[in-house]
Amino acid sequence: MKPQTTMKGAAARFWRLPLIAAMLLMFLSAAFAASGKGKYGPKAAPDLDNFPVNPDGTVSVIVQLSPGTPPGQVKQFARSINRNLTGIGAVAANVPKKLLEKLVSNGWVTYVSPDRPTKSAWDDFPQPVNDAIARQNWGVDGTGIGIAVIDSGVYQHDDLQTADMKSSRVVYSESFVPGDPSTNDAYGHGTHVAGIVAGNGHDSAGRFYGMAPNANIVNLRVLDANGGGSDSRVIAAISRAIQLKTQYNIRVINLSLGRPVFESYSLDPLCQAAEAAWKAGIVVVTAAGNMGRDNSFGEQGYATIEAPGNDPNVITVGAMSPQGTWTRNDDIVASYSSKGPTLLDHVLKPDIMAPGNKITSLLSPGSTLGQLAPVSAIIKPTQLTWLCDVFAGQSDCGATSPGPQYLQLSGTSMATPVVAGGAALMIQSNPNMTPDTIKARMMRSAWKGYPVRGNSWGRDVKGNTYLSQYDVFTIGSGYFDVQAALNDTTPVNGGAASPTVVFNPLTKTATLTNGLSVVWGQSMVWGQSSVFANSVVWGQLEVDATSLVWGNSVVWGQVGTDACSMVWGQSVVWGQLDDGTLNALSDGDPGDDSDADTTDSGGTITDGESVLPTDPSTTGGAL
């Protein structure tokens, strides 16, 4: 692989927000967010619906009382009174779950909320997508939603058990690996993905939390101990997910895997299988690929989207680098994240971005990735005393397992389950939503506040730097925001297939085209408000998105750029940017470092190194 640019030293290091300030920001944001509605009505917090039940069948709640009500009134409904909170006219009590509705119905009760833990919820990855606020406001946690993880298997980690630890939320497992019936995770990729989707933070006392922490996992193993697989395995697994849809309420499929594009998506059997699931009412979320650094053919990382992410129907996810802070304002594109448009069909991809760099999730003991990872990438819950000391003066964090339980990985594989978990939350909030509605609302509501200067630098483990421009072929519709997506009620009529880009070689411009049934075609349901990010940049030529409805005057940019001729030309043998195999998409790239470059990037932050040894952009591996 030939780097896009020469070595370029980062000139300054971006200061992180202090952890306490970041935590205060999170709590204040939650406090001022609009209240959602739960099954107990407007007098109860929406997250009370699925708040963990104590072993004795009670729920720990705080009951706020109307003025003049004696605290003793609560005793008739409570198993125990934990504390009288006279300062706010409330009582902390353990109330049998079956009596909650009766308690709430009393006139002297003004509001009932869970007695929520006050320790930090160190999501590590999803904070920029507002998942914690969304779960609280909407009372959603993935309950009842089945998510098919088609990957390398799933280890029965404590964080994938039910809250009471009595049963596993991995409700079905099957191996499609020939000669190997085991559904355990020998590679370590599927378990990591499952944790991002649905981990409940049990072994870390809630510090490493998944997007939909009470969703069920359908484990369909297609990748071997080296992270390799084949189209037929994945297709068979997708078919099984469709067959099991009703039994396990499978509404989402996560495909953190891929391989190069060899033919049009309309002919590719892998893409056709993904489309079949989509048409069956299952949201298919795929990784964009980790080829964003590739410049082997002068393409500067463009046109490197991998299959089945090249299919216009599925939701294709690129990776952002969260920079280790709780805010998204300093997040930048991960340099390895594959860019569009797709080969041959020229579909505008990726669709959306999510955190993917240095993501902490579940470790599968003895797995290949676990053994390859450096010591710094393996995390024991008991190592997190610094978090406990800051917030609660504790020394053990309440962690239940002293052994290694968590692992950091980087790739679009890690970004994909963030969106998949978000889809599960949206479906739980409204089970009647179609895959097209979910995709359209995600894209329409995506955050578009990217760097004003329109670029950032990333550096790999060898010190090579890569320039990322913030155009639609790099960031699609913008940064996923699950809270905003849940708030979006825009009607979606017709399909939500990603548009096709048509290039004019004479004018060197490109336009986006769609059939009339596509929600962002010529009859865009949101009128002049752009679905995609606020500017299209190629080279240094920028177009104001507000002046167009993405269909008439999108400027591709400078004439004669190598990337321009490569993407639209005939000089590349499609599918040969790597070895052509189907693999997981986070096979060992150490990701990006987190420091700033004040030179050409205008001071925007660089994406840093991930924690694994090799470079996935050269292997076509796990995204």
- CATH number of the domain bearing residue 85: 3.30.70
> Does residue 92 lie in a domain region?
yes
Same domain flag for 198 and 173: yes
Same domain, residue pair 140 and 77: no
Domain boundary among 71, 86, 114: 114
Range list of β-strands (E), 290-415: 315-321, 332-333, 352-355, 359-362, 378-379, 406-409
CATH number for 362: 3.40.50.200
Q: Position 397: which residue type?
A: C
* Domain annotation covers residue 9: no
Please name which of 327, 339, 324, 367 lies closest in space to residue 194, comparing C-alpha atoms: 367
Domain-embedded: residue 7: no
Q: What is the pLDDT of residue 525?
A: 30
> Does one domain contain both 146 and 87?
no
Residue at 392 is within a domain: no
Token digits for 241? 């997910």
pLDDT value of residue 454: 62
Residues with Cβ within 8 Å of 480's Cβ and at least 6 positions away in sequence, in order, are 129, 317, 352, 353, 354, 418, 419, 422, 442, 446, 447
Residue 428 lies in a domain: yes
Cross-strand partners of 175: 221
Predicted local distance difference test score (pLDDT) of residue 103: 94
Asked if 193 and 65 sit in the same domain, the reply is no
Name the stretches of the chain with pLDDT < 70: 1-37, 87, 116-128, 324-326, 381-404, 450-454, 503-512, 514-623
Residue 401, pLDDT score: 57
Q: What domain count does the chain have?
A: 2
Residue 35 lies in a domain: no
Do residues 127 and 74 share a domain?
no
Write down the residue that tokens 């050409």 correspond to. Answer: 600
Helix 189-198 / helix 412-429 crossing angle, nearest 10 deg: 30
Would you state the pLDDT for residue 593? 62
Domain stops at, among 114, 132, 152 = 114
- Does one domain contain both 190 and 89? no
Task: Give 3-state DSSP helix, strand, coil % of the chain, rounded to 5.
Answer: 25, 20, 55
The type of residue at 425 is: L
- Amino acid, single-letter form, for residue 331: D
d(CA 537, CA 557): 7
CA distance 415 to 320: 8
Q: Which of 24, 215, 19, 29 is nearest to 136 (CA)?
A: 29
Say how many residues make up the chain: 623
Where do we find the tokens 């505008």?
Answer: 348
Residue span of the structural domain in which 94 resides: 42-114
- Same domain assignment for residues 76 and 174: no
| 33 falls within a domain | no
CB 384 within 8 A of CB 217: no
Instruction: With respect to residue 52, please indicate whether it lies within any of the assigned structural domains.
Output: yes
Whether residues 63 and 168 share a domain: the answer is: no
Q: Are residues 124 and 271 in the same domain?
A: yes
240 and 273 part of one domain: yes
Q: Among 114, 134, 168, where does a domain finish?
A: 114
Are residue 106 and residue 187 in the same domain, yes or no? no
Q: For position 587, what pLDDT does the model report?
A: 52
Considering the entire predicted model, what is its pTM? 0.72
| Same domain as 434, residue 305 | yes
59/94 Cα distance (integer angstroms): 5
